[in-house]
Amino acid sequence: MKNIFKSKFFSRVGRRNLVIISIVLLLGLAVFVNYRWFYDPTKDIGYGENNMNQGQSAGQQNQDNNTPTDYFASADVSRKSARDEALEVLQNAVDNPTSDTDVAGALAQIARIAEDIENEANIETLILAKGFEKCIAVISGDSASVVVSCEEGGLLPTQVAQISTIVYEQAGILPDRVTIIEK
């Protein structure tokens, strides 16, 4: 009886559709966990700088829009919105059965975006652990850009090497493909 149910279920839904649904659910879970762990502005879990208001009270606004805090917060928000838009376009392509888009290619891009999100979060966490105040990492294909907040003297060669090593270990991006920007 159970075997008949399984065969009817799989023939009606299709294994391909189950794989697609599973990947989409895993991607959604990864995005949710990443958001809750690193960027939830309402919850302080005691791990890194996860509050977007950066220690300001809820009613207090920072008057100087050119501060590094504002830069890092706005860069993070724009990175998230760009990723959300890309994921939405890819998800629409996967969900639309009449689309001419390659479903496997769209799913591969979704998986790549999820991997990049995870790698960026890991890179940022490890760079912050090295003593930098603020950091944002952006991975684009086989290159990466890392923006760090540093003292006025600039980055030391050892710090540049540490950042390049972290990016290589987490994302496999060679140091000559890493751009480090001081803010």
* pLDDT (tens place) for every residue of the chain, 183 residues total: 556 656 665 666 666 676 777 787 777 777 777 666 665 455 444 444 444 444 443 344 444 445 555 788 888 888 888 888 877 877 777 777 666 667 777 788 888 888 888 899 999 999 999 988 899 999 988 999 999 988 777 888 999 999 999 999 999 999 999 999 998
The pLDDT, as a whole number, for residue 53 is: 43
The pLDDT, as a whole number, for residue 56 is: 42
Specify the pTM.
0.58
CA 48 – CA 32 distance, rounded (Å): 18
The pLDDT, as a whole number, for residue 178 is: 93
The pLDDT, as a whole number, for residue 127 is: 93
Domain 68-182 = CATH 1.10.287.4300: yes
Which residue from 171, 159, 99, 164 is spatially nearest to 133, judged by alpha carbons?
A: 159
The runs of H, that is alpha helices, within the chain are 2-13, 15-34, 68-95, 103-129, 157-171
CA 143 – CA 130 distance, rounded (Å): 22
The pLDDT, as a whole number, for residue 3 is: 64
